[in-house]
Amino acid sequence: MATRRSGEQMISLSIDGRAVQVLPGATIWEAARLLGIGLPVLCHDPRLEPVGVCRLCLVEVGEPKLTAACVRGAEDGMEVRTSSERLEACRRGLVELLLSDYPVDASDRPKTGSDALVELAAELGVDWPARRWSGETGEAPGSRTEPAGGIPAGDGRALDGTSKVIFVDHQACILCDRCIRGCDDLQVNEVMGRTGKGYQTSIAFDLDVPMGESTCVSCGECEKVCPTGALSLVGWEGPPNDAAGSGDVGWEVL
């Protein structure tokens, strides 16, 4: 039931049985955040227009289909559930699927934030070869070989070390599109997009040229918003995966 408050129509809904009111236009993810309910996200960042591609924030709203909380608008009378066996199975499965293509050494690279994918895997207890710190084991960094959750592993995407500032590991990219929105929408540098289609899709600079040859101005926004080891800092001496992080990755409630 909508209540009138100083001329503004508020939307009332319940999330996990708790009532909450939001302004029209607010998403379920935003409403959940007001209640302190953190939903896992990899592609979402509150500073960016949501795209709903990683599917981790799926919730139940009493419709046959699950719905992505980051893009779905809150509706009056909605009854949202953010956890259930069904949702857990989906989230774990999605993380396993992502890890099946994720190179194990990618999470060791120096980043502004943390590796949200690997953190989420740990959080959900997803079975994945323990993180191998190449420094500790003395092993040469290499791509993973054991399947995550029995899903065949993928490998072989390019590394791009042409930029002086940011190192690109396409194999570690989960195509969350955060870097693209960071570059084109936040910074309005308009360098990054997607190239290709389907499984062949990857991020690209300009007409898919190496980053160092593109019109990139090295602002660093893409690296900052990247939730994986796909974009990392070149020649940075700090500890890997700075625990302080930027605070805008992962599924922490902000």
Q: Report the interface residues with other proteins, using CB under 8 A.
A: 51-55, 58, 65-66, 68, 71-73, 86, 89-90, 93-94, 96-98, 100-101, 149-152, 154, 174-175, 184, 190-201, 204-208, 215
As measured in angstroms, the least distance from the Cβ of 174 to other proteins is: 7
**Rounded to an integer, what distance in angstroms lies between the CA atom of residue 234 and that of residue 237?**
9
Quickly list DSSP for the chain. --EEETTEEEEEEEETTEEEEE-TT-BHHHHHHHTT-----SS--TTS-----S-TTEEB-SSSS-EETTTSBP-TT-EEB---HHHHHHHHHHHHHHHTT--GGGGGS--SS--HHHHHHHHHT---PPP--HHHH-PPP----SPBTTBPP---PPEE--SSSEEEEGGG-----HHHHIIIIIS----EEEESSGGG-EEEETTTB-GGGSS-----HHHHH--STTEEETT--SPTT-TT--SSSSS---
Span of 72-80, 137-145, 204-212, 224-232 interacting with ligand SF4 by CB under 6 A: 224-232
Amino acid at site 107: S
Contact of residue 71 among ligand SF4, other proteins, none (CB under 5-8 Å per partner type): other proteins
As measured in angstroms, the least distance from the Cβ of 1 to ligand SF4 is: 35
Is 153 one of the binding residues for ligand SF4 (CB under 6 A)? no
As measured in angstroms, the least distance from the Cβ of 166 to ligand SF4 is: 10
Contact of residue 179 among other proteins, ligand SF4, none (CB under 5-8 Å per partner type): ligand SF4
Contact of residue 240 among other proteins, ligand SF4, none (CB under 5-8 Å per partner type): none
DSSP-assigned beta bridge partners for residue 40: none
Is 179 one of the binding residues for ligand SF4 (CB under 6 A)? yes
The count of residues interacting with ligand SF4 (CB under 6 A) is: 13
Contacting residue, 171, 228, 232, 241, with ligand SF4 by CB under 6 A: 228
**Rounded to an integer, what distance in angstroms lies between the CA atom of residue 34 and that of residue 10?**
14
As measured in angstroms, the least distance from the Cβ of 170 to ligand SF4 is: 8
**Rounded to an integer, what distance in angstroms lies between the CA atom of residue 11 and that of residue 38?**
20
**Nearer to ligand SF4 (CB atom), residue 32 or residue 225:** 225
Give how far the C-alpha of residue 32 lies from the chain's centroid of Cα atoms, to the nearest Å.
Answer: 18
Is 15 one of the binding residues for ligand SF4 (CB under 6 A)? no
Is 22 one of the binding residues for ligand SF4 (CB under 6 A)? no
Is 111 one of the binding residues for ligand SF4 (CB under 6 A)? no
As measured in angstroms, the least distance from the Cβ of 191 to other proteins is: 6
Pair of tokens at residue 160: 């791009």
Footprint of ligand SF4 (CB under 6 A): 173-179, 203, 225-226, 228, 230-231
